[in-house]
Amino acid sequence: MTVQTIREDSARAIAGGVAPRRWGSWYIAEHRIRAMKGYAGDAIFQSFGNPLIYLFALGVGLASLVPQGVGGVTYLQFVAPALMATAAMTVAANETSYPVLMGFKWNPIFFGMNASPITGAQIVNGMMIQIALRAVVTVAIYFGVIVLFGGVPSATGWLAIGAATLTGMAIGVVISSYTSTITEDRGQMAMLQRFGITPLFLFSGTFFPLEQLPIYLQPIGWISPLWHGTELGRVATYGLEEPIWLTVTHVGYLTTLFLVGLWATRKHFTRRLNK
Amino acid sequence: MPQPVITASQLTKTYGDFTAVDAIDFEVAPGESFGLLGPTGAGKSTTMRMVGAVSTRTSGDLSILGLDPNAHGPDIRSQLGVVPQQDNLDQELRVRDNLLVYGRYFGLPRSVVAERADALLEFAQLADRRKSKVDDLSGGMKRRLTIARALINEPRILLLDEPTTGLDPQARHILWDRLFRLKEQGTTLVLTTHYMDEAEQLCDRLVVVDKGRIMAEGSPASLIREYSSKEVLEVRFGSDKNAEIAESIRDIGERHEVLPDRILIYTGNGEAELEQITQRGLQPITSLVRRSSLEDVFLRLTGRSLIE
Ligand SMILES: Nc1ncnc2c1ncn2[C@@H]1O[C@H](COP(=O)(O)OP(=O)(O)OP(=O)(O)O)[C@@H](O)[C@H]1O
Ligand SMILES: [Mg+2]
């Protein structure tokens, strides 16, 4: 063994910290993407299966009840952006619920990651990179299928992929900021689904315009990231007419929610890893 | 004397008003194999997490490789290998993949990681299980994989928190053999254990900890010399009689420990003391003369057994 002075040790440590400090988030993303191999089948089925089923049921089935369409477009064109945003939300919600609980508790890989130079914030970043990637692929496939069904009249339609992904991520970080604080599983995930995701899905102007709801229920839509994301998608796919300030609000709201959720999640991860 | 790679002074960790680690001082020299021996709840894991630069100390000073973990956590961790008390391998990944992703955390190129992963799988005697699911490994294999993972960055210091707890004797011996090799190669080892035989096997020097405090420090041999006698005579008279008979043989040997199931008599010559006892007409149900161990040291220091 070569004799090293403590100074050399310190210098080596500081040098060893450089790459992980800079690229750590990407190393985590790499890990999570590799781990997706384990559930690739499910993920692919979700990506291709869901759009086909939903589009068939809604675009063909339900649409026949509303032959006049909604707000000047066909019913399929109306629901398509909502379905895309919902798909992103579903992916993000899945990835930020049980996997977060697992990583702290049943298969505590977060502690393993943190024992290396990786920080709690980087673990969160890396997870979000992987989730965003999965969401964007899922939504893009959805988009492709919708185009085939004639659901996207506008040339700027592809921007809805971004809107949907941003929506999913905004919801995902809010969920992870909560799930990262759960220490005992008392069925909170089912509650989250029942009182969080499902109402969002139903009351966010997804299947019918928000204005159809009685006025006292409409605020659900205004605070719902899914509503903002869906409306944004509609602006992109068929040029939904709304004041420009409202479009800006959609983007601003989703971005703010994402940043706040990300900040809170990182904070909770960091605190929980530092036992 | 080379400068220590770990220096802790008055190192303290509290959780609320509970003090898990209570102002402990120790140093670890490069290449040394250093142990924390103590019972459940002594604060071993808490100390290891602070040394591992993941848990912030409440007070005191700590320097790892000349750096303060409060300011240099990731830097310090780039030079550590950590085997935690609870395995945290990724069960969604195969055996070899666990090493591959982990190596990347240190910023190592993929080709380097792949090469090291294969060598480490050989070292951990897991080469034929490289494609297995982690879940399908035995406890001993998981432990060896965790050690292999901890070595992927060629660490300057290897931290092992109860490396063999819960393993069967054979698996423990395989693991000890691997750790012994690392020690021979000059890796600095810091390990916790509540097995005295493990401490005797692997540690050049150790501290006995209890309730967050260091009770004694030294090499296994010197601790035994200092805190115990050469031999121990264990006699059993039956649990209802032990205490009473202990009174009547108080003058025999240097010191006694009366446990519920037996009396321990510390002495330089166990056979001679046993003869004295029988000469008094007392016939133990069983008797045993053995060398003193760290267990006796612990008993002497705390009045309790290491493993209840
Ligand atoms: N995060 C925590 N919050 C509150 N108390 C804690 C926490 N971690 C440890 N403790 C307490 O600190 C004490 C020391 O725990 P520690 O895990 O360090 O002991 P140990 O020596 O490793 O024991 P074992 O042999 O059981 O692993 C215990 O009483 C434990 O309950
Ligand atoms: Mg412990």
Domain assignments of chain B as residue spans, ordered by start: 6-224, 229-291
Q: Do A9 and B84 touch (CB under 8 A)?
A: no
- What pLDDT, on the 0 to 100 scale, is given for residue A1? 47
Exposure of A180 in the CB half-sphere (CA atoms within 13 A) = 28
For the residues B214-241, what does the mean pLDDT come to?
Answer: 91
Q: Do A115 and B77 touch (CB under 8 A)?
A: yes
**Tokens read off for A104:** 């702290």
E strand residue ranges, chain B: 6-15, 18-28, 33-37, 59-64, 80-83, 157-161, 188-193, 205-210, 213-218, 231-236, 255-258, 263-267, 286-291
- What pLDDT, on the 0 to 100 scale, is given for residue A207? 83
> Of A236, A228, A174, A175, nearest to A206 (Cα)?
A228
B-proximal residues of A, 32-51, CB under 8 Å: 34-35, 38
Q: Which residues of chain A have pLDDT under 50?
A: 1
Secondary structure class of A53 (helix, strand, coil) = helix
Identify the residue with better confidence: A61 or B132.
Answer: B132
Tell me how far apart the alpha carbons of residues A115 and B149 are, in angstroms, rounded to a whole number.
11
**Tokens read off for B64:** 């790892």
Query: B92 touching A, CB under 8 A?
Result: yes
Cβ–ligand 1 contact at B45 (below 6 Å): yes
| Nearest atom in ligand 1 to B47's CA | 18
pLDDT in tens, B135-159: 999 999 999 999 999 999 999 999 9
- What pLDDT, on the 0 to 100 scale, is given for residue A4? 67
Q: Give this prediction's pTM.
A: 0.92
- What pLDDT, on the 0 to 100 scale, is given for residue B307? 62
Cβ–ligand 1 contact at B105 (below 6 Å): no
Q: State the best of A3, A4, A6 to mutate against chain B, taking most chain B CBs within 10 Å.
A: A6
Taking a 5 Å cut-off on Cβ, the residues next to ion ligand 2 are B 44-45, 85
Which of A216-225, B31-40, B201-210 shows the lowest per-residue confidence on average (mean pLDDT)? A216-225
Own/partner pairs, B171-179, CB within 8 angstroms, 24+ separation: B171/B138, B171/B139, B171/B140, B171/B143, B172/B140, B172/B198, B174/B125, B174/B140, B174/B144, B175/B140, B175/B143, B175/B144, B175/B147, B176/B201, B176/B202, B178/B123, B178/B124, B178/B125, B178/B144, B178/B147, B179/B147
* Chain B residue with Cα closest to A109: B88
* Cβ count within 10 A of residue B89: 22
B35 CB-contact burial (10 Å; exposed 0-12 / middle 13-18 / buried 19+): buried
Chain A residues with CB under 8 Å of B72 CB are 13-14, 17
Sequence ranges of the domains in chain A: 24-273
| Residue count of chain B | 308
Q: Say if residues B102 and A48 touch (Cβ distance below 8 Å).
A: no
Q: Say if residues A237 and A77 touch (Cβ distance below 8 Å).
A: yes
Which CATH topology does B229-291 take?
Answer: Alpha-Beta Plaits (3.30.70)
B236 confidence band (pLDDT: 50, 70, 90): very high
Cβ–ligand 1 contact at B41 (below 6 Å): yes
For the residues B235-255, what does the mean pLDDT come to?
Answer: 86
What is the distance in angstroms between the CA of the first residue and the CA of the last residue of chain A? 34
- Calculated CA dihedral for residues B114, B120, B122, B123, nearest 10 degrees: 170
Domain B6-224 of CATH type 3.40.50.620: no
- What pLDDT, on the 0 to 100 scale, is given for residue B233? 93
Residues whose CB is less than 8 angstroms from the CB of residue A258 and which lie 6 or more positions away in sequence, other chains included: A166, A169, A170, A173
> Of A95, A3, A8, A82, nearest to A43 (Cα)?
A95
Q: Do B107 and A273 touch (CB under 8 A)?
A: no
**Tokens read off for A264:** 């809170």
| Nearest atom in ligand 1 to B42's CA | 21
Nearest-ligand number for the alpha carbon of B47: 1
Cβ–ligand 1 contact at B160 (below 6 Å): no
For the residues B69-73, what does the mean pLDDT come to?
Answer: 96
Mean pLDDT over each residue of chain B, to the nearest integer: 92
- What pLDDT, on the 0 to 100 scale, is given for residue B213? 96
